[in-house]
Structure 1
Amino acid sequence: MTRETGQVAPRSVPDRTHRVHNGDISLAVYEFGPEDGVPVVLVHGWPDTHHLWDGVVPLLSDRYRVIAYDTRGYGESSAPTPVSAYQLSRLATDFFAVVEAVSPTEPVHVVAHDWGSVQVWEAVCEPGASQYVASFTSISGPNLDHLSTWMRRGVRSGTPRGLWGTLSQCLSSAYTTFFMLPVLPGLFFRLVGTERVWKLFLRLVEGIPAEQISLAPTIKQDMISGLRFYKANILARMFGPRERFTTVPVQLLVNTRDIAVRPAGYDDTARWAERVVRHDLPRGHWLPYSDPAAIAEHADAFIQAQPK
């Protein structure tokens, strides 16, 4: 597997497409690579769809059976109206439904980004998760319970480092306050939620060339619909964190230039997971666009390191 940072293949065309149903939720699922390959599930975040992984898929699908899906609220999947429909507990059932449908006889390896990672964290901390997930590579999406607990510990410590860690994360997360306001954020993204504006934002903030960014035609609707993820979960987890443990092996790809999640926020992960491997990368939040080869290399190495 060769690494060519910044080189992205054209939009990936799935070898197989189908829909997975979780109650009244219908999820669009896309498969790439050999049908008998080891299954690797890719889970996107806000405001993306499965196209987030267009640069990663060709680097993995030559040897793995790669499965990507539009999570609820995005792309071609169902987008229920109630905010409560986007609680992490419900998103985790979507994930398990996809895993059961695409790999009923063996656990899958998972790579997830942003809110995709947040919801997979919810799933892997459920009892019996290791029956479904063989490994989890997490990118720019912490477990919200773990993050809240870490921030609280920083405040209680009274040390400059602890206080600064919490303050810096609060500053990085300030945008979520706007996202949770009524009416206004929806109006904002109706005005500016275009492919051109979003690509310009990513170029200005992270230096990602437009040709490396793969968006769905539903980008505006996805931006607005995805706001429900924030409204359904942020305050609940920040004010009421739970103790959440996992036996699933976890790999953290920590982007040191991430504008949303500070690297120190992952420092306590080993308290909550039996096995954690961490790699700090000098990249911004949207690693799947800026350096898909890094994701493919680390994911491949982590998958190969797991017991067969």
Structure 2
Amino acid sequence: MEHTLLASDGVRLAVCERGNPASPTLLCVHGFPDDHSVWDGLAGELDSEFHVVSFDVRGSGASQAPPRIGDYRLDQLADDIGRIIDAFAGGKPVHLVGHDWGSAQAWHTATGASQHKIASLTSISGPCLDHIPFWIGDRLAAGPQGWREVLAMWKSPLYMGFFQIPWLAPLMCRLGVVDTVIGLAERAETGNRPAGMPRHRARVNRAGLKIYTANLGPRLLRPQRRHTEVPVQVLAPRSDLFITAASQVDVARWAANSRIRSVEGGHWAPAFRPREIAAHVREFAHQHTTTEKKGPK
């Protein structure tokens, strides 16, 4: 079932609902340049046990693409997630599953005022932005091994910096250059492209580039110490070409109830390896499912 939901600022969000609404709800949040279809394989594995809700983040898919950079700040994106929870979870806490920028959004929600709406968080290939500067500082102070882990992130500032260049980055998306690079990365991971994944998603979803400009500078230059009581599972793909495993797994100080799982695959493991990812999500969600309605403390 497909729905349209109005965000707090009036932006229209396209929401997809699968499975039995009476079952525990999984809310899946995608990153750039994807849309909700990146979760189709995982939803197919889990919609017989869970109520699976996914949506097109503003600027992607069938959701509206507001023109202002400020409309893509993490506070607003977390508010979007909160409104979807309120509309589709029947007042019960949800299991958040985030990938790439979807993980950053999910982390921001799970460490904010809406964390009482979340039963668990599974983060894949996307750390909390506010945690990264603290991790870098710790690793630089740790000596040579820590320096190597920081240097291994060299690709991240390159492509994230490029995606913030006005006119040029959207043009490269429009011309298909970014999609070509993504295709090469996908083939490097598995030798082919996942069935059903759109071939021109960077071109179509290029408005989502604003999420980089709206958040990277403010969050990395003025990070907050964001903690959560939500149980957190980090799934770190071993062959991720974009987000290193080391930069994702230092979460114990931010989430006391946390566990780390190293998984096979690359950056798009949720699309390429949905059965394996679904098995981890299923196990963690069942461990932390409650039928009680929760409220803010």
Q: State the TM-score, normalizing by the size of structure 1.
A: 0.88
Matched, 1:54 2:36: no
Task: Give the match's secondary structure for 1:135.
Answer: strand
Residue of structure 1 in register with 2:67 after alignment: 81
Supply the distance in 2 between the matched residues of 1:85 and 1:166 (Cα, whole angstroms): 31
1:303 to 269, 285, 288: 285
**Aligned CA-pair RMSD:** 1.9
Mean alpha-carbon deviation: is it higher for 161-170 or for 113-122?
Answer: 161-170
> Does structure 1 conserve the Cα–Cα contact (< 8 Å) formed by 2:186 and 2:268?
no
1:205 to 178, 183, 188: 188
Residue of structure 2 in register with 1:6 after alignment: none
Give the unaligned 5+ runs of structure 2: 291-297
Residue of structure 1 in register with 2:144 after alignment: 160
For 1:209, the aligned partner's letter is N
Supply the distance in 2 between the matched residues of 1:183 and 1:165 (Cα, whole angstroms): 32
Residue of structure 2 in register with 1:12 after alignment: none
Matched, 1:112 2:94: no
Residue of structure 2 in register with 1:19 after alignment: 4
For 1:169, the aligned partner's letter is M
Residue of structure 1 in register with 2:157 after alignment: 173
Residue of structure 1 in register with 2:294 after alignment: none
Supply the distance in 2 between the matched residues of 1:96 and 1:28 (Cα, whole angstroms): 15
Matched, 1:190 2:174: yes
Matched, 1:239 2:221: yes
Deviation at 1:209, TM superposition (A): 2.3
Residue of structure 2 in register with 1:3 after alignment: none
1:124-155: per-residue Cα shift (whole Å, max 9, x none)? Answer: 1013512x110111100100111121012222
> Does structure 2 conserve the Cα–Cα contact (< 8 Å) formed by 1:199 and 1:210?
no
For 2:225, the aligned partner's letter is E
> Does structure 2 conserve the Cα–Cα contact (< 8 Å) formed by 1:113 and 1:139?
yes
1:280 to 257, 262, 265: 262
For 1:180, the aligned partner's letter is Q
> Does structure 1 conserve the Cα–Cα contact (< 8 Å) formed by 2:24 and 2:289?
no
Q: 1:63 to 1:178 in 2, by over 3 A?
A: same
**1:220-231 counterparts in 2 under 5 A?**
220-222=203-205, 224-231=206-213
Residue of structure 1 in register with 2:132 after alignment: 147
Task: Give the match's secondary structure for 1:153.
Answer: helix
Q: 1:213 to 1:205 in 2, by over 3 A?
A: farther
Supply the distance in 1 between the matched residues of 2:109 and 2:184 (Cα, whole angstroms): 31
The number of residue pairs the alignment matches comes to: 289
Deviation at 1:19, TM superposition (A): 1.2
> Does structure 2 conserve the Cα–Cα contact (< 8 Å) formed by 1:54 and 1:214?
no
Give the unaligned 5+ runs of structure 1: 1-15
Q: 1:217 to 1:201 in 2, by over 3 A?
A: closer
Supply the distance in 1 between the matched residues of 2:199 and 2:54 (Cα, whole angstroms): 14
Task: Give the match's secondary structure for 1:40.
Answer: strand
Q: 1:88 to 1:216 in 2, by over 3 A?
A: farther
For 2:253, the aligned partner's letter is R
Over the matched positions of the two proteins, sequence identity in percent amounts to: 33
Deviation at 1:117, TM superposition (A): 0.7
Supply the distance in 2 between the matched residues of 1:77 and 1:99 (Cα, whole angstroms): 17
